[in-house]
Amino acid sequence: MKFTIKHEIKNRLRIHLPMKRMSFRQADIFEYYLKTFDEIKEVKVYERTADAVVLFSCDGSRIKEIISDFSFDEIQVPERVFEYSGRELSARYYDRIVTTVILHYGKRIILPFSIRRILDLIRTVKYIWRGLKTLKNHHLQVELLDAMAITAAVWTGDYNTASNVMFLLKIGDILEEWTHKRSVDDLARRMSLNIDSVWLLTDEGEVLTDSSKITCGDKVVVRMGNMIPFDGEVESGDAMVNQASMTGESVAVHKGTGMSVFAGTVVEEGDLVIRVTQAEGCGRFDKIVKMIEESEKLKSSLESKAERLADRLVPYTLLASAATWLFSRNAIKAVSVLMVDYSCALKMSMPLSVLSAIKEASEYDITVKGGKFLEAVAEADTIVFDKTGTLTKAKPTVARVVSFCDESEDELLRQAACLEEHFPHSVARAVVDAAFDKDLLHDELHTNVEYIVAHGIASEIDGEKAVIGSYHFVFEDECVSIPDGKKELFESLPDEYSQLFFAKNGKLSACILIEDPLRIEARTTVDKLRTQGFEHIVMMTGDSEKTAARIATETGITEYYAEVLPEDKATFVDKAKSEGRRVIMVGDGINDSPALSASDAGIAISDGAEIARQIADITIGSDNLESITVLRDISTLLMKRIRFNYRTIVGFNTALIGLGIAGIIPPATSAILHNGSTVALGLKSMTNLLPETKKGLT
């Protein structure tokens, strides 16, 4: 496609496409296309001007080549990209604000005063009715105060003040609604399903299939730790299913044959064969939005306290206005007090601050499910890390297979991959990937498999009992023995690797050595967390003492625990909380789920098990562990902003009330200063907490 360059600097390009403006769909297609290239780090498309800003990490000529190759007709875009796009929503609210401003000032220029007065009287009725409706709740709320202020201005003949108050209230309502909806929709998009492939049950067995090819009536297999991709009915199997994402229930419910299951829920225990009744599994967006909007999780305790205080202050404002009239017999002074209240600014700025912070976190690939978790991160003094896939890279690799029997290393790897391919863990993926790289076909050799959390897998291969997992599971729980003459080989296994043991018929068959390199940023992340105020930085892992000690030394973690079970992690978190500490848990696997749930704020790595992400309160991208330090910065700055807003609102509005009582400023000035400061503080609350330089795109 042809285009013109409007501005170009190092690693940043602003271009214009040859059209007056793009449709919302065209803008989404163009943005989706550009984001598919690894060289492009950030994209922002402006549909109104048909412009795009591109940040990249390669030669500029490559970006120009990419844009030149683009065509709207040739790009295949998943429908969910359009379904989850917030572009049309933002445009709609932008138009509403512009229209409101133009109408307000336009009528002053065009319409005579008499007609404007009639229009203002009609609009006043709406605000009076809104204020009276709040009396049904038997509470004096800010809407009643607004209605009384507008009525008082009209009663005293100050129509300009009444008009300005209604204008500023409308702008404030639109801004609050826009930011709230944009933030909630963005959070819902990130919580929605993005499942690319599923296990389809066919006459020949289970086949890994693209989820877009699934139709109603197909049967899919969902095993423990995996997310249910479609609405359906259980054909066979029994499982405990976590439905928190759909119903808000924290306790898993039993699902058996003939029962309905929902897309987005997670199998905690057991296996299910599901007959699909609704193939569009991702179409749960509206339900997720509703769940978020109804959830108290969106509110931090500071936010809730501010809102409760706002309502409690309304009667005092009314009393102050009445007292002013009684002592001064001056209606103008009394109206000046009515024009000012604490509630409006408190109720507007606090939610905007929290929702804006949640949205800002999403720009760093961090999904936060509610304001209270940002508050927990800001106040936490203890952080607990899982090792595998968290402090170490999310994609461990098989370094070597050591055979303890007559079968070849490749054959043992093939059998191990057959067992591991069904389960969502980074080590399991490493085994499957290693077999794939060697072109080792591993058709279903086994009978039903059983996954034992944090231990391993048990099944049968060609009639022989087969187990694969940790040392504790294989040798202590399953009582596997080392073959005769292989003791020396066993004792010579290198400690620098994680060890996965595979046994058949009670005899050790192989040890798979997993290279699980430390994340490059792990040490700097730990150091930064320490400077950010974390007093206790802990690592807990199911690996051996030697492996745990090595990782702890390399990361600078002084407190660690090896060979722990899932319940041990949860017990540690509960004990720390009972001692008065605020605890964050960071993990990626099924075995981390109990601790993630028990912590004040559970953080899951996005490439981990679905159940970990589902239970966790926060999800971070797996490419950089430093996201946790960014999250801490955002959370700390959010709490500072909330406290600053509170002090500013109380101080400024108290001063306005005092000036009004003293007769220094008239009602019109009080209204303009109060409502103007409310809108200004709301706009300020919508700005990013971190400097733009940290993100890169301006």
Residue 360 belongs to a domain: no
| pLDDT value of position 531 | 95
Reported as a single tens digit per residue, the pLDDT across 270-279 is: 889 999 887 6
- Counting Cα atoms < 13 Å in the Cβ hemisphere of 512 gives 31
| pLDDT value of position 50 | 92
| pLDDT value of position 188 | 61
Reported as a single tens digit per residue, the pLDDT across 511-538 is: 999 887 888 899 999 999 999 999 999 9
Claim to verify: residue 149 and residue 173 sit in the same structural domain = yes
The number of beta carbons lying within 10 Å of the beta carbon of residue 591 is: 25
Phi and psi dihedrals of 608, rounded to 5? -80, -165
**What CATH number is attached to the domain comprising 54?**
3.30.70.100
Q: How many domains does the chain have?
A: 5
394 compared with 297, residue with greater pLDDT? 394
Find, among 295, 194, 211, 182, the residue nearest to 246 by Cα: 295
Phi and psi dihedrals of 275, rounded to 5? -90, 120
Q: Is the pLDDT of residue 401 over 90?
A: yes
Separation between Cα atoms, residue 642 and residue 354, nearest integer Å: 8
Q: Is the pLDDT of residue 473 over 70?
A: yes
Reported as a single tens digit per residue, the pLDDT across 626-642 is: 899 999 999 999 999 98
| pLDDT value of position 296 | 43
Lowest-pLDDT range of 53-57, 261-265, 475-479: 261-265
What is the residue-averaged pLDDT of the chain? 81
Residue 560 belongs to a domain: yes
Mean local confidence (pLDDT), 189-203: 71
Here the tokens at position 670 are: 């009080």
**What CATH number is attached to the domain comprising 615?**
3.40.50.1000
Residue 288 belongs to a domain: no
Claim to verify: residue 104 and residue 54 sit in the same structural domain = no
Q: Residues 30-34: contacts with CB within 8 Å, 24+ apart?
A: 30/70, 30/72, 32/75, 32/77, 32/81, 33/70, 33/75, 33/77, 34/66, 34/67, 34/70
**What CATH number is attached to the domain comprising 271?**
2.70.150.10
Claim to verify: residue 639 and residue 662 sit in the same structural domain = yes
Claim to verify: residue 167 and residue 302 sit in the same structural domain = yes
Going from the C-alpha of 656 to that of each of 660, 672, 694, the distances in angstroms are 6, 11, 38
Q: Is the pLDDT of residue 297 over 60?
A: no
Reported as a single tens digit per residue, the pLDDT across 107-157 is: 888 988 888 888 888 888 888 888 888 777 666 666 777 787 788 778 878
Residue 82 belongs to a domain: no
Given 562, 588, 622, the domain boundary residue is: 622
Residue 202 belongs to a domain: yes
Residue 432 belongs to a domain: yes
Q: Is the pLDDT of residue 287 over 70?
A: no
**What CATH number is attached to the domain comprising 421?**
3.40.1110.10
Separation between Cα atoms, residue 57 and residue 283, nearest integer Å: 35
The number of beta carbons lying within 10 Å of the beta carbon of residue 120 is: 18
Mean local confidence (pLDDT), 286-299: 53
Percentage above 70 pLDDT, the chain: 83
Mean local confidence (pLDDT), 465-479: 87
Claim to verify: residue 250 and residue 347 sit in the same structural domain = no
Percentage above 90 pLDDT, the chain: 23
**How does 662-688 read in b/e, with b if 16+ C-beta sit within 10 Å?**
eeebbbbbbbbbbbebbbebbebbbee
pLDDT band at 194 (very low <50, low <70, confident <90, very high): low
Phi and psi dihedrals of 512, rounded to 5? -95, 120
Question: What is the residue range of 568's domain?
Answer: 366-393+518-622
Lowest-pLDDT range of 52-56, 245-249, 407-411, 564-568: 245-249
Token pair 């605000």 is found at 127
Residue 290 belongs to a domain: no
Residue 696 belongs to a domain: no
| pLDDT value of position 251 | 64
Claim to verify: residue 404 and residue 505 sit in the same structural domain = yes
| pLDDT value of position 555 | 93
Claim to verify: residue 99 and residue 145 sit in the same structural domain = yes
Find, among 169, 168, 124, the residue nearest to 147 by Cα: 124
| pLDDT value of position 282 | 45
Claim to verify: residue 401 and residue 389 sit in the same structural domain = no
Given 259, 283, 307, the domain boundary residue is: 283
Claim to verify: residue 539 and residue 511 sit in the same structural domain = no
Claim to verify: residue 469 and residue 538 sit in the same structural domain = no
Separation between Cα atoms, residue 464 and residue 467, nearest integer Å: 10
Claim to verify: residue 565 and residue 497 sit in the same structural domain = no
Reported as a single tens digit per residue, the pLDDT across 11-43 is: 899 999 999 899 999 999 999 899 888 889 889
Given 578, 599, 622, the domain boundary residue is: 622
Claim to verify: residue 148 and residue 134 sit in the same structural domain = yes
∠ CA 663-668-671 to the nearest 5 degrees? 100
| pLDDT value of position 698 | 35
Residue 595: its H or E element: helix 593-598
| pLDDT value of position 308 | 66
pTM over 0.85: no
| pLDDT value of position 586 | 92
